[in-house]
């Protein structure tokens, strides 16, 4: 692969040299000609922003270990690696907390301002700030939000709503319906979880959207068959299940991304789409490496779907990053210099799923035999049984997670976020604008230049 790239570059240099030699262009003429075709003059019509929530650098590295082919000496690149352009600073503007949460980080990436933790596209004075999604809509583009959390959660919320608190999920759903731009609802495609925030005692936003021409779907099949440009798909009451726990009737993040692209692609003025791998972060909060890897895989496939679209549509700019890191995930723990990825791959369901089944009455042995490909040691089994005896699902979830984390050599230091820089990836005409060490606000500020 690398050899081929060098061959192409060498041929280009020879060709340019030949043209200059034959036509005898002056250097001024060469540079003005170059300006006409320079990347800065290439128009971006469509923008896809992908956010791996909580996906700090140790996550993308751990994912590379997971995907490594053990029969080769070299550790192969992941689907992300070749698109890496830089790193982003994530700190928020919060006097009490200088480690960001998802709301402040999403506001930075959606509206281009640093604000306080918990803010949904409002500034420090709780005043609404325009988002890239809104600017795109105002400019005649179509818009979409896709997530595996409630579609009203902090990250999608900051692109499509304004609220002083991320906890006001119902009000965020209200904004999606009520805040019109030029007499139209501002989000054309919404796919994710969160029925509870739409179908409520005080209001039924599902019916309101349907009455206004949205097609409403709740299964992967109906979503894939959708032909309506305006689409609302809600696949869970709250957050969707983790990818390895999902039924076939529930779509993957890649399927949702493709379903969104199929509709957004119809607008000849282009579109803005935000896709979030929401639950990478939730796995990090739970200190559950199995869930983290399940969700990263789901996200990686959605990223590939976005890249595939952009490769077919050259006027599409893809930007991918994280909002922060979560859990302090470390590759290596307890003084050991090894990450045994087989221990993570041995889980056929998440520890959370297994814990729920056991709390619902299934025996510890039955569940572990069914969903774990290795045999637990007596000590591990005793620890899990002790946790099961508490009848507390979170305690049991952690005990089962610990079996995988310890065997794999994956450590965690916190149940919260960490303030490290996050990797930034880009593909498309203006990827160079996302290179080097940038602020997370630079992402919004660059996207504004594409969508306005």
Of 9-17, 276-284, 355-363, 368-376: span binding Zn ion (CB under 5 A):
276-284
State which residue, 178 or 394, has the beta carbon closest to Zn ion.
394
Long-range contacts of 33-41 (CB under 8 A, 24+ apart): 39/429, 39/430, 39/432, 40/430
Taking residues 304 to 343 in sequence order and writing x for each that binds Zn ion by CB under 5 A, - otherwise, the string is ----------------------------------------
Q: How far is the CB of 321 from Zn ion (least distance, A)?
A: 15
Of 132-140, 239-247, 278-286, 438-446: span binding Zn ion (CB under 5 A):
278-286
Active site residue 32: no
Q: How far is the CB of 276 from Zn ion (least distance, A)?
A: 12
State which residue, 101 or 134, has the beta carbon closest to Zn ion.
101
Residue 281 is a binding residue for Zn ion (CB under 5 A): yes
Q: Which residues pair with 49 in a beta bridge?
A: 274, 319
Of 66-74, 189-197, 275-283, 286-294: span binding Zn ion (CB under 5 A):
275-283
Of 58-66, 148-156, 185-193, 281-289: span binding Zn ion (CB under 5 A):
281-289
Whether 324 contacts 102, CB under 8 Å: yes
Q: How far is the CB of 192 from Zn ion (least distance, A)?
A: 16
Taking residues 227 to 266 in sequence order and writing x for each that binds Zn ion by CB under 5 A, - otherwise, the string is ----------------------------------------
State which residue, 289 or 426, has the beta carbon closest to Zn ion.
289
State which residue, 83 or 169, has the beta carbon closest to Zn ion.
169
Q: How far is the CB of 393 from Zn ion (least distance, A)?
A: 20
* Type and span of the H or E element at 107: helix 102-111
Q: In the 8-state DSSP scheme, what is residue 321? A: E
Structure tokens at 353: 């799923």
Strand order in the sheet with 422-427: 215-217, 231-234, 189-193, 142-150, 271-277, 46-52, 316-322, 422-427, 84-89, 436-439
State the Cα–Cα distance between residues 49 and 232, nearest whole angstrom.
19
Structure tokens at 91: 């700190």
State the Cα–Cα distance between residues 124 and 104, nearest whole angstrom.
10
Of 17-25, 280-288, 404-412, 440-448: span binding Zn ion (CB under 5 A):
280-288
Q: In the 8-state DSSP scheme, what is residue 95? A: S
Of 37-45, 119-127, 277-285, 337-345: span binding Zn ion (CB under 5 A):
277-285
State which residue, 51 or 368, has the beta carbon closest to Zn ion.
51
State the Cα–Cα distance between residues 435 and 426, nearest whole angstrom.
9
State the Cα–Cα distance between residues 92 and 233, nearest whole angstrom.
32
Judged by CB under 5 A, how many residues of this single chain contact Zn ion?
Answer: 1
Q: How far is the CB of 202 from Zn ion (least distance, A)?
A: 28
Whether 55 contacts 417, CB under 8 Å: no
Which residue number places its CB atom closest to Zn ion? 281
State which residue, 174 or 281, has the beta carbon closest to Zn ion.
281
Q: In the 8-state DSSP scheme, what is residue 239? A: S
* Catalytic choice (102, 147, 291, 325): 102
State which residue, 317 or 325, has the beta carbon closest to Zn ion.
325
Q: How far is the CB of 416 from Zn ion (least distance, A)?
A: 7
440's CB contacts (< 8 A; 6+ apart) are 88, 89, 90, 105, 108, 109, 321, 323, 422
Q: How far is the CB of 242 from Zn ion (least distance, A)?
A: 15
> How many angstroms separate the most distant Cα atoms in the chain?
84
Length of the chain in residues, anyone?
A: 452
State the Cα–Cα distance between residues 428 and 127, nearest whole angstrom.
33
Q: How far is the CB of 280 from Zn ion (least distance, A)?
A: 9
State which residue, 105 or 388, has the beta carbon closest to Zn ion.
105
Question: Percent helix, strand, coil in the chain (nearest 5)?
Answer: 45, 15, 35
Whether 352 contacts 291, CB under 8 Å: yes
Catalytic residues: 102
Binding site for Zn ion (CB under 5 A): 281
């Amino acid at each position: 692969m690398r050899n081929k790239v060098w061959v192409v570059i060498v041929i280009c240099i020879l060709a340019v040299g030949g043209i200059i030699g034959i036509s005898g262009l002056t250097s001024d003429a060469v540079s003005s000609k170059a300006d006409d075709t320079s990347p800065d003059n290439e128009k971006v019509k469509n923008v896809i922003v992908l956010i791996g929530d909580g996906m700090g650098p140790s996550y993308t590295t751990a994912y590379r270990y997971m995907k490594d082919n053990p029969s080769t000496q070299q550790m192969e690149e992941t689907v992300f690696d070749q698109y890496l352009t830089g790193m982003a600073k994530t700190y928020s503007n919060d006097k009490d907390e200088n480690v960001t949460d998802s709301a402040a980080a999403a506001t930075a990436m959606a509206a281009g301002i640093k604000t306080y933790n918990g803010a949904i596209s409002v500034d420090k004075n709780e005043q609404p700030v325009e988002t890239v999604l809104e600017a795109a809509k105002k400019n005649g583009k179509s818009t979409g939000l896709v997530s595996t959390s409630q579609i009203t959660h902090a990250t999608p919320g900051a692109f499509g709503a304004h609220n002083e608190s991320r906890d006001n999920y119902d009000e965020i759903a209200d904004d999606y319906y009520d805040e019109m731009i030029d007499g139209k609802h501002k989000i054309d495609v919404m796919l994710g979880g969160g029925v509870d925030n739409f179908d409520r005692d005080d209001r039924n936003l599902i019916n309101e959207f349907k009455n206004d021409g949205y097609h409403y779907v709740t299964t992967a099949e109906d979503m894939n068959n959708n032909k309506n440009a305006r689409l609302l798909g809600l696949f869970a009451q709250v957050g969707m299940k983790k990818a390895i726990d999902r039924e076939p009737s529930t779509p993957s993040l890649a399927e949702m991304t493709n379903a969104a692209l199929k509709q957004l692609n119809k607008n000849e003025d282009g579109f803005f789409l935000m896709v979030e791998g929401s639950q990478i972060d939730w796995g990090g909060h739970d200190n559950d490496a199995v869930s983290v890897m399940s969700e990263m895989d789901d996200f990686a496939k959605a990223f590939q779907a976005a890249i595939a679209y952009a490769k077919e549509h050259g006027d599409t700019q893809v930007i991918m990053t994280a909002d922060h890191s979560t859990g302090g995930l470390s590759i290596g723990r307890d003084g050991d210099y090894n990450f045994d990825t087989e221990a993570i791959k041995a889980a056929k369901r998440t520890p959370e799923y297994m814990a729920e089944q056991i709390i619902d009455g299934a025996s510890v042995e039955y569940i572990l035999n069914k969903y774990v490909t290795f045999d637990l040691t007596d000590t591990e089994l005793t620890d899990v049984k002790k946790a099961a005896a508490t009848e507390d699902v979170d305690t049991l979830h952690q005990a089962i997670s610990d079996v995988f984390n310890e065997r794999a050599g994956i450590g965690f230091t916190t149940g919260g976020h960490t303030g490290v820089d996050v990797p930034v990836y880009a593909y498309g005409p203006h990827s160079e604008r996302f290179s080097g060490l940038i602020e997370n606000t630079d992402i919004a500020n660059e996207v504004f230049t594409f969508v306005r």
